[in-house]
Amino acid sequence: MVRNKLLTVAVVVAVCGSLVPAVAVAGPTATDASADDWTASQGDAQNTNANDADGPTGPNATVARQFPDGGAESDIGRPSVPAVVNGTAYVGYDDSGSSATYVSKGRVIAYDTASGEVEWNQSDIPGFTETPTVADGYVYVTSSGDGADTDDDPANQTAGVYALNATTGEIAWTRTGSDAGNFVVSDGRMYVETGANLTALNASTGETVWTRPAEQDAFDMAVDDGTLVRREGGPSGNETTLRGVNVSTGDVRWNATLTGTDTFDNYYVVPERSTVSAADGTAYLTVGDRTLSAVSLDDGSVEWERTVTNEKRNLETQWLSPPAVKHDTVYVSTLHGSDDGDNSTVFALNATTGETEWQAYNDAKLFAPTVSNDTVFLPAEQVTVEGQQYGSAPRDGVFALDATSGEIRWTYALPGLAHSSRLSAAPAEGALYVRTTTWDVYSDDGRVYALESTANATPADSRFILQDDPRTKPFVSIETDPANAGDRDLDAGTNVTLTADASDPDGDVTTIEWDGDEDGEFEQSGESITVPLNYCGTLTVTVRVTDDSGETAVESVELTT
């Protein structure tokens, strides 16, 4: 449901507010970002999570570079998703330390995307967690917290807004003295939360254009068609407030309250925070756990909304990702979860009607999608082909899907086991930049990888399992009656029935054989056997199953009296 209210009240003051401006140095030479670039956390000022880059389309993918070179964190902090502009990747790092030794420290490192070499490293800024935004030759970050300062004088506090020269990393201007939060940069202005206010700054000088009270903290902001749209409220819950603000004056044009369904109470497995995307005069956002809404930027009215669930498989959605908007299509992923583990569905929805264009189920934990040109990239946690054979844990990586059909183009598993519960991907300039990190706000753990296309075959230990992947080995486990007979001492004379629970993912189990006397020969056959414990000591009973391809699997149980 939605409640709209047109507002005409303007509470705008063209003063500096609580922020303390610093002396600005000479500005950089502006270079325009191209359609291949990824300039902000969600790709652009509209938060579309999409661009026109020729991202890696395959036929396969491989790690071309790691940042820093070699992949180690090198004690520089937890990384952000990079902003990539004109051959440079700008990565923010939060190096604030543990909860016991917390001091707000951060840095931005600019890497040459071709070589991985460091172009500059600016560490004279407080800690922050969001992707830097790059526009018109500047790199923008915001920070909250006191940093290393203990002085209560606002003029001596380091929290606030920082604009860096994108070429040199030098601080071009700052606005400190008040916590600064979510922000967006568009058409020469920076719209930022500062303390209890929403402020528009001149993006080149840091001077205030207008400021107004912020009714609530914004969880996210985007700019499209002359409207700054603010999403207010937390990452969970069934009610969200959306406000449309005139970018020129700061007047609130409308507000809307949307209600969805909130059933998922485990915040720490949610892959990414909720956002709002804006494109072609419409705002798209998830509300609650499974509702996707489209809201007009003209007046805040709902154009359409729908519950996103996988009805074909009768799977209820426990979490719905932030949207990506491209090709007049809205892309979202879901997390279902089941007794068998995490599984997801990717949906492509018509941006005008909300109707499903295609959906693709995946037996993996998928994170928020990003889109470049004609490919949808989904960070994921899944078992590799090799790992499935040996029961290994999931790995972090990426699924790449055709944007028009949902067919899988390639998969790639990053080195090491699953690193985190937070994965993000940014396509830019022919590569896909993947950030892995954790929900632990004090952790300095995390990595950034650049994936590129390759014609070489992906090794089994770097390729995720798919539903149609051949799984050559059968599976078998042993059930006992009495229950748990292999975990306790039994009375002599007890008869134990052993039953083989066998299956074969790509065919049929043809034979089940038992070695009941430890001689290495499988003399008995059948799904179950009965073993009399006419002895004192331990007997090992082994079952062997064979499938229609000749592959085998064995399992044993020890029976002790």
Q: Which span out of 63-77, 435-449, 454-468 was modeled with the highest average pLDDT? A: 454-468
Q: Which two tokens stand for residue 559?
A: 């029976």
One domain, residues 442 and 488: no
One domain, residues 486 and 366: no
Average pLDDT over residues 466-494: 81
One domain, residues 373 and 522: no
DSSP letter at 315? B
Q: How far from the centroid of its chain's Cα atoms is residue 42's Cα?
A: 11
Please give the single-letter amino acid code of residue 133.
T
Average pLDDT over residues 257-271: 54
The backbone torsions φ and ψ at residue 386, rounded to the nearest 5 degrees and listed phi first, read -70, -40
Q: Which residue has the higher pLDDT, 351 or 537?
A: 351
User: For residue 469, is it within any domain?
Assistant: no
Please tell me the predicted confidence (pLDDT) of residue 32. Answer: 61
pTM (global) more than 0.75: yes
Q: Which residue has the higher pLDDT, 317 or 524?
A: 524
3-state helix, strand and coil shares in percent for the chain, rounded to the nearest 5: 5, 50, 50
Please tell me the predicted confidence (pLDDT) of residue 204. Answer: 97
| CATH code at position 28 | 2.140.10.10
Please tell me the predicted confidence (pLDDT) of residue 96. Answer: 66
One domain, residues 364 and 294: yes
Which of these three, 462, 488, 506, is where a domain ends? 462
| pLDDT over 50 (residue 10) | no
Mean pLDDT over each residue of the chain, to the nearest integer: 83
Task: Assign 154 to helix, strand or coil.
Answer: helix
Out of 145-159, 364-378, 421-435, pick the least confident. Answer: 145-159
User: For residue 307, is it within any domain?
Assistant: yes
Q: Which residue has the higher pLDDT, 505 or 98?
A: 505
Q: Among residues 448, 463, 367, which one has the least CA distance to residue 413?
A: 463
283 contacts 322 by C-beta, under 8 angstroms: no
CA–CA dist 190, 23 (Å, integer)? 18
Please tell me the predicted confidence (pLDDT) of residue 407. Answer: 93
Q: Which two tokens stand for residue 129?
A: 């967690």
One domain, residues 361 and 395: yes
One domain, residues 168 and 51: yes
Residue 433 confidence class, pLDDT cut points 50, 70, 90: very high
User: For residue 10, is it within any domain?
Assistant: yes
One domain, residues 438 and 502: no
pLDDT in tens, 86-145: 999 999 988 766 555 556 688 999 999 999 999 999 999 888 778 999 999 999 999 876
Q: Which residue has the higher pLDDT, 400 or 194?
A: 400
Q: Which residue has the higher pLDDT, 406 or 362?
A: 406
Please tell me the predicted confidence (pLDDT) of residue 417. Answer: 59
Which of these three, 431, 462, 493, is where a domain ends? 462
| Beta strands 370-372; 50-51: pairing state | parallel
One domain, residues 454 and 480: no
Please tell me the predicted confidence (pLDDT) of residue 11. Answer: 38
One domain, residues 401 and 268: yes
User: For residue 254, is it within any domain?
Assistant: yes
Please tell me the predicted confidence (pLDDT) of residue 41. Answer: 92
Average pLDDT over residues 196-201: 94
Q: Tokens 């939605």, residue?
A: 2
Which of these three, 462, 494, 517, is where a domain ends? 462
CA–CA dist 8, 30 (Å, integer)? 37
One domain, residues 414 and 480: no
User: For residue 331, is it within any domain?
Assistant: yes
Percent of the chain with pLDDT over 70: 78
One domain, residues 487 and 452: no
Task: Give how many domains the chain has, as a whole number.
Answer: 2
| CATH code at position 495 | 2.60.40.10
Q: Which residue has the higher pLDDT, 194 or 114?
A: 114
| pLDDT over 60 (residue 267) | no
pLDDT in tens, 23-74: 455 455 545 668 899 999 999 999 999 999 989 999 999 999 999 865 445 5
The HSE-up count of residue 434 (CA atoms within 13 Å, CB side) is 36
Listed in order, strand segments (DSSP E) in 403-494 are: 408-413, 422-428, 431-437, 447-454, 475-481
Residue 443 confidence class, pLDDT cut points 50, 70, 90: low
pLDDT in tens, 137-169: 999 999 876 544 444 544 445 788 999 999 999
CA–CA dist 384, 466 (Å, integer)? 9
Out of 43-47, 266-270, 478-482, 552-556, pick the least confident. Answer: 266-270
Residue 18 confidence class, pLDDT cut points 50, 70, 90: very low
User: By residue range, what is the domain housing residue 535?
Assistant: 475-560
User: For residue 467, is it within any domain?
Assistant: no
Residue 292 confidence class, pLDDT cut points 50, 70, 90: very high
User: For residue 222, is it within any domain?
Assistant: yes
Average pLDDT over residues 486-499: 92
User: For residue 355, is it within any domain?
Assistant: yes
| pLDDT over 90 (residue 246) | yes
pLDDT in tens, 506-557: 678 999 999 999 999 999 999 999 999 988 899 999 999 998 878 888 999 9
One domain, residues 298 and 271: yes
Burial class (CB in 10 A: 0-12, 13-18, 19+), 35: exposed
Residue 264 confidence class, pLDDT cut points 50, 70, 90: very low
Residue 415 confidence class, pLDDT cut points 50, 70, 90: confident
